[in-house]
Every structure is written in structure tokens, then in C-alpha cells.
């Protein structure tokens, strides 16, 4: 099968973003790349799930960020399975990236559901030495506080598909 990425290599896309314009409690989705196949084009999307305003002095608590990653990925994979390619925290500790194929995630409410499902998880998944790279570095209470604060601030105006 013919397989090639249609999008030109623009380097690290995030560096081209004006970080002064990024709002907290927002989800911004862009097409990361388009895979051209003999059967048609497959868009690969990337969501910037921003919890905190960049450089505001407010960031994720490291342990809470790690637990939020476990909760959010568990919820996202439970709904969308392999149509989620990745969900990981940003190194700057202000949010998460989610790379995905699922067109359902181009809707505002799909993200509300992921957050609600993540908040409903009672026992932190994957927090064992055999399933996590730093299983003691967790704080579920802090993670859920951050998830709840995100949901409280998130609105249709803060959801964008570019």
C-alpha cells in the first residue's frame, strides 16, 4: 500500500503558537498530518488540552499530573480504543496533548465525557510497579481536583477546531 505523510515538516508546531494567546480550560484541535493512502486520506488530529495559562505561575503538581495522565488515558482509550494514538502531559506542565484519529473527538461534548469518565474512576489504573514507570509518584486527589477545575472552566467558546 502506498503510504506517505502529505503535510510538510514544519518542525515543532507548538513553537509556532503564540503562547500569550493560549487560554486555560481549553481544547484546541489541529490536523497534525494527513496520511495519503491508496484508499484515501486519513487525517491525524492533535488536541492541545490546556489546563493552565502558560507562564502564569500556576502549573500542574507533578504527582497530580501523572495521575491525571493515568485517569484521562484510561477514559479516552475505554471509549475510542485504537483511534487514540497518544495522550501525554506537556513538559511545561500546563496541559496534555492527545493525538487521535477519532472524528468523534471534533465535538466539544466528547471531551466533557472523557473528563467525566476520568473523574468517575475510583481506583487509579495502572499504578503498580509492573505497569508504571514511577508507581509511587501519584496523587489521585490532586489529579481529580485539576480535572474538576478544568471541567468547571471549559466551555464551547474554549473548544476550537482549527
Min dist CB 49 to Zn ion, Å, is 18
From 33-41, 91-99, 126-134, 140-148, give the range in contact with Zn ion by CB under 5 A.
126-134
Q: Which is nearer to Zn ion, 85 or 132 (CB)?
A: 132
Min dist CB 137 to Zn ion, Å, is 8
Min dist CB 121 to Zn ion, Å, is 14
Min dist CB 67 to Zn ion, Å, is 8
Find all residues with CB under 8 Å of 11, minimum gap 6, and list them.
none
What stretch of H or E contains 63? helix 62-80
Find all residues with CB under 8 Å of 4, minimum gap 6, and list them.
35, 36
Residues 75, 151: contact at Cβ < 8 Å? no
Q: Write the interaction track for Zn ion spanning residues 79-118; mark x where CB under 5 A is met and - where it is not.
A: ----------------------------------------
Per rule CB under 5 A, is residue 132 in the interface with Zn ion? yes
* Residue 43: Cβ-neighbour burial (10 angstroms; 0-12, 13-18, 19+): middle
Nearest position to Zn ion, beta carbon: 132
Per rule CB under 5 A, is residue 121 in the interface with Zn ion? no
C-alpha cell at 94: 500546563
From 6-14, 46-54, 86-94, 125-133, give the range in contact with Zn ion by CB under 5 A.
125-133
Residues 162, 28: contact at Cβ < 8 Å? yes
Size of the site for Zn ion (CB under 5 A): 1
CA dist 72 and 89 (Å) reads 10
Q: Which is nearer to Zn ion, 132 or 151 (CB)?
A: 132
Give residue 34's Cα distance to chain centre: 19
Give residue 87's Cα distance to chain centre: 5
Min dist CB 19 to Zn ion, Å, is 27
> Which residues bind to Zn ion, rule: CB under 5 A?
132
Amino acid at each position: 500500500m502506498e503510504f506517505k505523510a502529505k503535510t510538510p515538516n514544519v518542525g515543532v508546531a507548538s513553537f509556532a503558537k503564540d503562547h500569550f494567546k493560549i487560554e486555560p480550560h481549553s481544547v484546541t484541535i489541529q490536523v497534525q498530518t494527513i496520511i495519503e493512502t491508496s484508499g484515501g486520506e486519513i487525517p491525524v488530529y492533535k488536541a492541545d488540552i490546556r489546563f493552565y495559562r502558560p507562564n502564569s505561575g500556576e502549573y500542574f503538581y507533578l504527582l497530580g499530573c501523572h495521575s491525571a495522565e493515568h485517569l484521562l488515558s484510561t477514559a479516552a482509550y475505554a471509549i475510542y480504543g485504537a483511534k487514540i494514538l497518544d495522550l501525554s502531559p506537556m513538559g511545561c506542565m500546563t496541559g496534555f496533548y492527545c493525538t487521535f484519529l477519532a472524528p468523534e473527538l471534533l465535538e466539544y461534548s466528547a471531551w466533557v465525557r472523557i473528563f467525566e469518565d476520568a473523574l468517575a474512576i475510583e481506583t487509579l489504573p495502572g499504578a503498580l510497579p509492573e505497569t508504571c514507570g514511577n508507581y509511587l509518584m501519584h496523587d489521585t486527589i490532586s489529579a481529580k481536583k485539576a480535572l474538576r477545575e478544568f471541567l468547571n472552566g471549559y466551555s464551547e467558546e474554549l473548544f476550537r477546531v482549527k
